[in-house]
Chain A
Amino acid sequence: MKETPQEKRIHENMKAGVMCAKGFLGSDTRHFHEIIETDAAHLQTLGYTREEVADRMQALTNAAFEAFMGSITLEEHLIVEYTSFRGKLTCPFAHPGGFRKGSVTLQNTRNNITLCWTPLNIHMIREHGFFEGHGSEHRLDPDILIKALFN
């Protein structure tokens, strides 16, 4: 498929070593549009919208960010921790502005799922419906993500 210059730039940004070491696509060979469309369909069958997922992730992130030292336990079964690093993360879709460079670790003790995301992931899910490609550092499979967030 032909790509517009803008899409080409996005694609370039997603490659390994441009914005993060392993890239946003990981070992996934699909085009990012396809990843987005597949995950969107999947999310729909699970009965959640991008906004609901992003809102929930943002709420957990905010709570952990304010706790700032070590992890906190929310709703009795969610252990969340926020780690800060110097600098900013930028959006590969060329959205202007930056996001905090930090990583959030969520452990759901009910089903023992542990996930890790960055503030940028929340933005990419909310604005672009992008959950990253298989094999990338922060791939958030909708299936697992929903279980970790809402179970």
Chain B
Amino acid sequence: MITTILTTIAIVGGMAGFLALLLVVAEMFFANYGEVIIDINGKRKLKVKGGSSLLSTLNENKIYLASACGGRGSCGFCKCKVRSGGGPLLPTEKPFLSPDEIKDNVRLSCQVKVKEDIAIIIPEEIFNVRQFAGVVSKIEDHTYDIKELTIQLTQPTEINFKAGQYVQLQSPRYGKIKQKVSRAYSISSSPDHTDYIQLIIRRVPDGICTTWVHDFLKEGDEVSFTGPFGDFFIQDTRADMLFVAGGSGKAPIKAMLEYLDARNSTRRMGYFFGARSRKDLYLDDLFATWEKSMRNFAYYPVLSQPTEQCEWDGRCGYVMPYFDEFIQDVNNTEAYLCGSPGMIAAVVKYLVSKGIPKEKIYFDSFA
């Protein structure tokens, strides 16, 4: 009897042990991709350990592609061109890629696993992207739902960016929120200040990061962000500049104007800011001082729905009809737009109908 029990235990144990061993060996064999080489733009070669996603492998090597979802394949920001070695296109990537991008071998780097030598192409600017740590030195309330943060950099202590670019701010675990998230916000301070950045952040109903900024963040708190990202900058020409923004879209325009003001720019500039009512207007004083310091700059606030209490006798309705006050020569005008996709679409349509070439309209859409 005892021997039967013992042999049973031995056989079951042996069998299970054998299969477990088989799995461990298989795991070592299948999941070990050894060292692989990532070829970047044909110029740089990275020797890395294979097996994880392209996005996280690059992150470990301090190359930060934009990503808002943290590699879960839901934001579609971390696109990059894979020239060879990325494996087949996965069903998880398809919805984020246009037919042209698929033809161009664009992939979502968070879904591509590094299993073999791989050659990728990423924009050169990405190499400037770093992870930054800083301390919130000031929080200003601009309107009932818009705050501006000033973040003093601590590690590294300097940032180089172009006016109009954005960073990804990381919110920590707080309250009931059990995970960190990253969200994109435009830098609103001039690139001349390399030791701090400012961000203009509007409250999003039920938003994870903005709720943290608006309700939990205090002056003196430590924060971290990655950046800079984006290709919305001032073109180095002599053309007239038409700026249009709404809501928190004011941020990159503020950075651009601050930059131009520091250089005593004499380019003709007009800034149309669309808001709903008086309580949505902010930083008016700052723009008024720039109107004085830059002789060719004019600020045009437009309210779409001023109420009685606003006591508003300025421009009302949509911003577009007022462009005529500024535009002189359509062939010598550039437009810089930042705001909602609805606004951008309408303004682009209007400007094109006025005769401004599409390629001279630069925009940063919230979509």
Contact = CB atoms under 8 A, between A and B. Distances in A.
B11 interface: no
Contact of B319 (A69, A84, A87, A101): A69
Among A15, A71, A84, A97: residue with most chain B CB under 10 A: A84
Contacts of A69: 246, 274, 276, 304-305, 318-319, 343
Interface residues of B, number: 44
B76 A98 contact: yes
A36 B68 CA distance: 29
B184 A86 contact: yes
Contacts of B183: 86-87
A45 B318 CA distance: 43
A76 B153 CA distance: 53
Interface size range on A against B: 20 to 34
B208 interface: yes
Interface stretch (A27-35, A51-59, A60-68, A107-115): A60-68
Contact of B339 (A17, A67, A84): A84
A97 B339 CA distance: 22
B98 interface: no
A22 interface: yes
Contacts of B95: 96-97
B366 A87 contact: yes
A69 B244 CA distance: 13
A50 to B, nearest CB: 22
Contacts of B91: 96
A83 B341 CA distance: 10
Interface string B158-201: 00000000000000000111110001110000000000000000
Contacts of B211: 21
A102 B346 CA distance: 17
Contacts of A22: 206
A85 B178 contact: no
Nearest to B344: A68
Contact of A96 (B92, B202, B204, B305): B92
B177 A21 contact: yes
Contacts of A8: none
A41 B207 CA distance: 31
Contacts of B94: 96
Contact of A82 (B176, B206, B342): B342
Contact of A116 (B76, B205, B208): B205
Contact of A68 (B73, B177, B184, B340): B340
A101 B204 contact: yes
Interface of A: 15-18, 20-22, 65-71, 82-88, 90, 96-98, 100-103, 116, 137-138
Q: Which 10 A-B pairs have the closest CB atoms?
A: A84-B340, A17-B177, A68-B342, A70-B304, A96-B95, A137-B206, A69-B304, A90-B74, A97-B95, A70-B305
21 contacts: A16-B177, A20-B208, A21-B208, A21-B211, A22-B206, A65-B341, A65-B342, A68-B340, A69-B305, A70-B277, A84-B247, A84-B341, A85-B204, A85-B207, A86-B248, A86-B366, A87-B183, A88-B367, A98-B76, A103-B204, A137-B206
